[in-house]
Amino acid sequence: MAKLWGGRFQKDLTENVEDFLQSVEVDSKMVLEDIWGSQAHAIMLAKQDIIKAKDLKEILLYLDKARADYLSGKFVLDPENEDVHMNVERYLIEGAGADCGGKLHTARSRNDQVITDSKLHIRNKIIDVKEKIIRLQETFLAIAEENTGTAIPGYTHTQDAQPITLGYWATAYVSMLNRDITRLDNAYRNVNTNPLGSAALAGTSFPIDRRMTARLLGFDSVHVHSLDVISSRDFVAETLCALAILMSNLSKLAEEIVYWSTYEFGFLELDDSYTAGSSIMPQKKNPCVAELTRGRTGRVYGSLIQLLTTLKGLPMGYNRDLQEDKPPLWNALEIIEKTLVVTEGMISTMQVKKDRLKQVSGANYNTATELANYLVREKGYSFRKCHEIVGNLVGTLHRQNKLFTDYDITLKLLADAGVEMDEASLKNIVDPEKNVKAYKSLGSTNPKEVKRMVGIFKKDVLKSKAVIKKQNAKTDAAWKKTQDIVAKVLDGKEVKTMKI
């Protein structure tokens, strides 16, 4: 089949070259976007008197048919037509005839078209990812609310450090995920600008109206510079970067789940439906969801590096290398969306072993810092001196196989070090659930603080949802506006008479 761009060629592509160049499989995610972008462009061309009303009607008729046929599986992208843009245009030309269908590409290039399509696609995907993050945040908030005072060991260097509460741990993840949402929103801002009308690189001599297509496609603004926007894929890199960091964050959670669910830690038991067995060891229940989250993080980082490497050293202007932006993005999006769904399921169904947490909390001198703090306040010594007194105490107790809760010995050793202390005060400090109440600073593990933070994070979740609602409302309204105009034109109304 002759190519739509075939005028200056005397020979066809070899089959291998054709296959090498085509991107229909990758582009198949953007068929509806390509049709919407084409509708907006055609409407604008007619409104600006660049094409005639009767041509617009035909073009919109066949674009509508293309969508219906695509959705019913009748219109399938053909690799011979190279990409989604040429496939849709070919469909149109075959239906409306070359004279009419061939007019759609006036003042447009595949260079601005492909970015338009991917921007329309990516902004929806960003919202899907944000929605899934929010679901995970809500799950953590439910755990936090129930456990503002449940003491658990808090770690540094994966060594028992100070008591914290389970609610404090859970809200840490909510707080972390808030930043992932912020990063995705930042990416969204750079995604949602209108590239259409940049044409190949230099703009066009036709009197197009780029603000009109921005309105019809729900973009926040017209991208300010045509050469810049057709050359740009940093908005893809930015999205991928946000996804890579998100995956890094999820892998942190995954790692904790892996060892917290070991027999030795025993802090939690994963639900059967979120684990896998062993083919040889009948007793095994493996945290494979968490492990593959950790493992697939490499694939998402790989996607980011893949894109950045593709972009490195590309000069201004469209270069075919840019076609390679989508596979890594699609890959990362697919992994992230699946990971978020199963992670939320894993966390919401896991069983926290409170007895075990009680047993280990405070059993390893992790209240020592607070004991030193007490001595600072009560005795007026320097913190460094108190650190040494308590360090000596822990060392001696440890050598004698004793704990702070061996109160008589602890009090005696303290007295030997010149510190008189009553048993009630000691008990108050070395009991982890009481210990955490001593914390006073903003953002600390004190149950009251955790409760306060839960309140703040609940509001943040509501705000994130409101942003999504606004983003969706804008794109939905633009979609509806375009489709309303299409329906009216097909009904015989002229765009010249419409307010667009």
204 binds ligand ARG (CB under 6 A): no
Q: Which is nearer to ligand ARG, 215 or 233 (CB)?
A: 233
Length of the chain: 500
The conformation of residue 12, written as its DSSP 8-state character, comes to: P
Residues 357-396 binding ligand ARG (CB under 6 A) are none
Binding window for ligand ARG (CB under 6 A); candidates: 107-115, 124-132, 149-157, 406-414:
107-115
Binding window for ligand ARG (CB under 6 A); candidates: 110-118, 262-270, 283-291, 377-385:
110-118
Binding window for ligand ARG (CB under 6 A); candidates: 56-64, 88-96, 314-322, 345-353:
314-322
33 binds ligand ARG (CB under 6 A): no
Q: Which of 28, 221, 248, 278 is catalytic?
A: 278
Q: Which is nearer to ligand ARG, 67 or 108 (CB)?
A: 108
Q: Which is nearer to ligand ARG, 323 or 369 (CB)?
A: 323
One of 178, 297, 323, 482 touching ligand ARG (CB under 6 A): 323
User: Interface mask (CB under 6 A) for ligand ARG, residues 66-105, using x and -?
Assistant: -----------------x----------------------
110 binds ligand ARG (CB under 6 A): yes
One of 38, 39, 111, 446 touching ligand ARG (CB under 6 A): 111
Under 8 Å between Cβ of 122 and 235: yes
The label of the residue with tokens 């068929």 reads 31
Q: Which of 72, 157, 279, 441 is catalytic?
A: 157
DSSP-assigned beta bridge partners for residue 159: 156
The least CB distance from residue 200 to ligand ARG, in Å, is 7
318 binds ligand ARG (CB under 6 A): yes
398 noted as active-site residue: no
| CA distances for 374 relative to 55, 383, 415, 439, 479, angstroms | 84, 10, 15, 12, 64
Binding window for ligand ARG (CB under 6 A); candidates: 106-114, 163-171, 296-304, 401-409:
106-114
Under 8 Å between Cβ of 177 and 133: yes
Question: How many Å apart are CA 297 and CA 309, to the nearest integer?
Answer: 18
Under 8 Å between Cβ of 435 and 367: yes
The least CB distance from residue 73 to ligand ARG, in Å, is 23
| Two structure tokens written together for 210 | 């780029």
Question: How many Å apart are CA 101 and CA 238, to the nearest integer?
Answer: 36
23 binds ligand ARG (CB under 6 A): yes
One of 77, 96, 114, 126 touching ligand ARG (CB under 6 A): 114
278 noted as active-site residue: yes
| CB burial of residue 386 (10 Å; 0-12, 13-18, 19+) | buried
The least CB distance from residue 105 to ligand ARG, in Å, is 12
DSSP 154-212: EEETTEEEEEEEHHHHHHHHHHHHHHHHHHHHHHHHHHSEE-TT-TTTT--SS---HHH
Binding window for ligand ARG (CB under 6 A); candidates: 87-95, 243-251, 276-284, 316-324:
316-324
Q: Which is nearer to ligand ARG, 174 or 199 (CB)?
A: 199
Phi and psi dihedrals of 155, rounded to 5? -115, 145
Q: Where are the alpha helices (DSSP H) in 321-422?
A: 326-349, 354-360, 368-379, 383-399, 407-416
Question: How many Å apart are CA 83 and CA 22, to the nearest integer?
Answer: 6
121 binds ligand ARG (CB under 6 A): no
215 binds ligand ARG (CB under 6 A): no
- In terms of Cα–Cα distance, which of 103, 38, 47, 51 is closest to 494? 47
Phi and psi dihedrals of 363, rounded to 5? -80, 0
Question: How many Å apart are CA 173 and CA 460, to the nearest integer?
Answer: 13
Q: Which is nearer to ligand ARG, 88 or 134 (CB)?
A: 88
Under 8 Å between Cβ of 129 and 336: yes
Under 8 Å between Cβ of 183 and 143: no
Binding window for ligand ARG (CB under 6 A); candidates: 108-116, 188-196, 229-237, 354-362:
108-116
The least CB distance from residue 110 to ligand ARG, in Å, is 4
Under 8 Å between Cβ of 310 and 327: no
The least CB distance from residue 171 to ligand ARG, in Å, is 43
- In terms of Cα–Cα distance, which of 211, 4, 10 is closest to 102? 4
Q: Is the dihedral of CA 302, 303, 308, 310 positive or negative?
A: positive
The least CB distance from residue 281 to ligand ARG, in Å, is 48
The catalytic residue positions are 157, 278
| Binding residues for ligand ARG (CB under 6 A) | 23, 83, 110-111, 114, 318, 320, 322-323
